[in-house]
Structure 1
């Protein structure tokens, strides 16, 4: 990534954080977890092949990307970077719930502490559900997702994940 793209990513995270009230550190940790913060990340496809998840946050049916069907934009425009962060955090018009909605839903549950709401929201963003046991490492999708985000928030950066649930 260019220095300008890094600055644009930083600016987008700060802007969307202020708009949605989702902590900017959490947004950065999620971006690093999803794509290592790559502005030209390839679009992921759902296991059944029906849903495209583009951009830095691999947002559900997102509308912004700098790597559409192999057409890579270099440099990645500031508006696209902002759009990728907005799609993942604020949600998409096509039903992508975004971290903010998941976080707000979890924060209002009885017995859920503020910090817990973030990790539960991460799990929901990744898989769309929390296992009935309440264990964030159980159920469908990436079992280490919430754990890895928690570790990123406590300083883990370069080492491979120590999580062995997947």
Structure 2
């Protein structure tokens, strides 16, 4: 059984889907230093050897609308239509302060220090992994609304690992807690992003999915479902149908507009 959950944020009605557990996503053998290596990933935009270049490069703020996408990955927005990392980030910083509302997590949202740690960690892990930082952040928003205190998703199969942390990774770390020291919180936030991006000993991260598929859209379906129907990325394979379309919209500026995936299928 695939584990999925819908989290509705107080500040916008967006689907936040939890990643698939180990039985779907598979085992990552050497996640600690995992990097994007597939050549096609660097032409599609999924891989980026100079992630700092995306901080200001993009189409500006994009459009805060929700657009329906169907079919294979080439039917989804190309990297030339993505917003810059800073545009994506700056648009959502106020939202992050309310990100835990209605998620069942402790506290209403992230502190200023936690938000700063998240920003720095995304860019640091992007540099180490060669994953475009916009894709990392879009996945964080999708999986946890950016709430560092997000609850761990418990796998209904006790023989399979749970999905903790900002990216709901496979058997990774969960946040150390608001009462921990500033340095411990910073380290914990970075490790949550490492686990989701570079994978864990028990499951793949974005790197492994990108190296298998070469683009962020099939990689997103891989991360959420484990299995990928290349001709229909809205085929959830037992997980969350809207996941890839949500990611596509996040990459092009969606934040506050209503999530209307159900209307896409009418």
Fold shared by both chains (TM-score > 0.5): yes
Per-residue CA shift, 1:95-153, capped at 9, x if unaligned? 2110011011112xxxxxxxxx101000000011113x631111220010011010011
The answer on 1:34 being equivalent to 2:138 is no
| RMSD (Å) for aligned C-alpha atoms | 1.5
Matches within 5 A, 1:1-166: 1-49=110-158, 50-62=160-172, 64-66=173-175, 73-74=177-178, 77-93=185-201, 95-107=202-214, 117-131=215-229, 134-138=231-235, 139-164=237-262
| Cα displacement (A) at 1:75 | 5.0
Unaligned 5+ runs, structure 1: 68-72, 108-116
Report if the CA contact (8 A) 1:51-1:60 is conserved: yes
SS at match of 2:223: helix
The answer for the alignment partner of 1:111 in structure 2 is none
TM score, norm. by length of structure 1: 0.84
Instruction: Indicate the structure (1 or 2) with the bigger Cα radius of gyration.
Output: 2
Distance in 2 separating the partners of 1:102 and 1:54: 19
2:261 is paired with a residue whose SS is coil
Instruction: Name the one with the larger strand percent.
Output: 1
CA contact (8 A) 1:45 1:53 kept: yes
CA distance in 2, matches of 1:75, 1:122: 33
Note the C-alpha offset of 1:47.
4.3
Q: Which has the higher helix share?
A: 1
Contact 1:90 1:98 in 2 (8 A): yes
Contact 1:5 1:75 in 2 (8 A): no
Give aligned pairs, total: 148
Q: Which runs of 4+ in 1 moved over 6 A?
A: none
* TM-score normalised by structure 2 residue count: 0.53
Residues of 1 paired with 2:126 and 2:260: CA distance?
29
Higher RCO structure (Cα 8 Å, ≥6 apart)? 2
